[in-house]
């Protein structure tokens, strides 16, 4: 591997991003517990395939991973179901906001992809079939082994989202009306709201997503395979085309890495065969992606030349 001083690169990015904190974007306000997060924070962390770690800024502060959780539920469902998964979920970019109801009506309750909210709700339904009542704890246990540290649900965020998740209730009820959910809407949403409310830091996320740059091999448990090489390639492809919603084209243009974002302000990015990277800054742009997180990824690619293109 080309020798790069990753710690120096992340320190430089932190120094360039920090003066911009507070200068743009807004924290997600439709989930009241997220609206209280201080916007002027920034963290960045990475882990290489040869287990080197580097981090800067607020990289050890836990935040709500929100839609980044969809990476891990997709991986679990792919691992257990193989191609059967795609009967209920598509693989095309939506070009619409992550919580849009529009395509679901015309496409008879089959979500466009696993990373929009409807797709993640369909995944939660599959996980209830696969894991039953222990689905929430099984998912959390996976996150702990991937991060190699204890990880927990933020129950306040989960409750806040359950109390105000009108659109997600609408999406789930819509899918149920088309016969596309096997479990009760409340049970499916309880799992979905909890997965979104997992709290993790950039350091933990960069580690946990490590299987995506290792052809599916567990980042912290030698010899354990989470996904096959082919499945891992597919998750990365979906991240590139659908991982940042209707900004996926802009991300591909400006960053050129498979990325998955969340409205907590986190973004996970993968440099296949090299490293995984996690950035966090809570202020979002109009598409629900972290404004400074995206800038930091752009800087990382410019400074290191690491990109899939
Ligand atoms: O369902 C929601 O709206 C949130 N729990 C997750 C959305 C999210 O993170 C989309 N990301 N950009």
Q: pLDDT (tens digit, 9 = 90+) per residue, 233-246?
A: 999 999 999 999 88
In the Cβ-directed half-sphere of 305, how many Cα atoms lie within 13 Å? Answer: 4
pLDDT at 1 over 80: no
Measured over all CA atoms, what is the biggest interatomic distance in the chain, rounded to whole angstroms? 55
- Which residues, in sequence order, are CB contacts of 195 under 8 Å at separation 6+? 69, 70, 72, 73, 120, 124, 136, 139
4-33 per-position pLDDT tens digit: 999 999 999 999 999 999 888 999 999 999
210-263 per-position pLDDT tens digit: 999 999 999 999 999 999 999 999 999 999 999 998 899 999 999 999 999 999
Q: Which atom of ligand 1 is nearest to the CA of 193?
A: 5
- Which residues, in sequence order, are CB contacts of 204 under 8 Å at separation 6+? 62, 147, 149, 151
Using CA positions, which residue lies closest to atom 7 of ligand 1? 67
What residues pair up with 220 in beta bridges, in sequence order? none
- Do 53 and 45 contact (CB within 8 A), yes or no? yes
Q: Please give the positions annotated as active site.
A: 67, 70, 192, 245, 263
Using CA positions, which residue lies closest to atom 11 of ligand 1? 262
Ligand 1 lined by 66 (C-beta under 6 Å): yes
pLDDT at 306 over 70: yes
CA R_g for the chain: 18
What's the gap in Å between 90 CA and the centre of ligand 1? 18
What's the gap in Å between 264 CA and the centre of ligand 1? 8
Ligand 1 pocket test, pick from 29, 37, 67, 191 with the greatest ligand atom count within 8 Å of Cβ, gives 67
What is residue 154's three-state secondary structure? coil
Q: Using the 8-state DSSP alphabet, how is residue 290 labeled? A: B
Cβ neighbours around 299 below 10 Å, total: 21
- Do 258 and 269 contact (CB within 8 A), yes or no? yes
- In the prediction, which pLDDT does 96 show? 85
117-164 per-position pLDDT tens digit: 999 999 999 999 999 999 999 999 999 999 999 999 999 999 999 999
- In the prediction, which pLDDT does 151 show? 97
30-64 per-position pLDDT tens digit: 999 999 999 999 999 999 999 999 999 999 999 99
- In the prediction, which pLDDT does 2 show? 55
More confident residue, 202 or 24: 202
What gap in Å lies between CA 232 and CA 260, rounded to an integer?
A: 14
- Do 153 and 199 contact (CB within 8 A), yes or no? yes
Look up residue 93 and give its two tokens: 């970019």
Q: Using the 8-state DSSP alphabet, how is residue 27 labeled? A: -
């Amino acid at each position: 591997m080309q020798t790069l001083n990753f710690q120096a690169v992340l320190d430089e990015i932190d120094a360039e991003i920090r003066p911009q904190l507070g200068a743009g974007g807004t924290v997600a306000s439709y989930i009241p517990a997220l609206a209280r997060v201080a916007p002027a924070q920034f963290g960045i962390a990475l882990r290489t395939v040869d287990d080197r770690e580097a981090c800067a800024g607020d990289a050890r502060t836990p935040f709500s991973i929100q839609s980044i959780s969809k990476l891990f539920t997709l991986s679990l469902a792919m691992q257990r179901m193989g191609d059967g998964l795609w009967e209920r979920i598509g693989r095309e970019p939506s070009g619409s906001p992550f919580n849009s109801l529009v395509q679901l009506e015309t496409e008879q309750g089959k979500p466009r992809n696993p990373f929009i909210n409807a797709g993640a709700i369909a995944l939660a339904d599959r996980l209830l079939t696969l894991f039953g009542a222990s689905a929430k704890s099984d998912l959390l246990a996976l996150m702990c082994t991937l991060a190699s540290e204890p990880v927990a649900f933020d129950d306040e965020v989960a409750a806040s989202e359950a109390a105000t998740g009108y659109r997600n209730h609408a999406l789930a009820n819509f899918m149920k009306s088309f016969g596309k959910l096997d479990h009760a809407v409340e049970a499916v949403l309880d799992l979905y709201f909890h997965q979104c409310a997992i709290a993790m830091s950039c350091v933990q996320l960069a580690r946990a997503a490590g299987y995506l740059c290792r052809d599916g091999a567990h980042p912290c448990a030698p010899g354990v395979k989470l996904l096959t090489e082919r499945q891992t390639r597919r998750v990365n492809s979906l991240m590139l085309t659908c991982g940042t919603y209707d900004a996926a084209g802009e991300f591909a243009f400006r960053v050129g890495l498979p990325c998955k974002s969340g409205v907590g302000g986190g973004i996970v990015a993968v440099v296949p065969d090299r490293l995984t990277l996690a950035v966090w800054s809570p202020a979002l742009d109009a598409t629900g992606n972290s404004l400074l997180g995206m800038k930091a990824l752009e800087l990382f690619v410019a400074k290191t030349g690491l990109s899939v293109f």
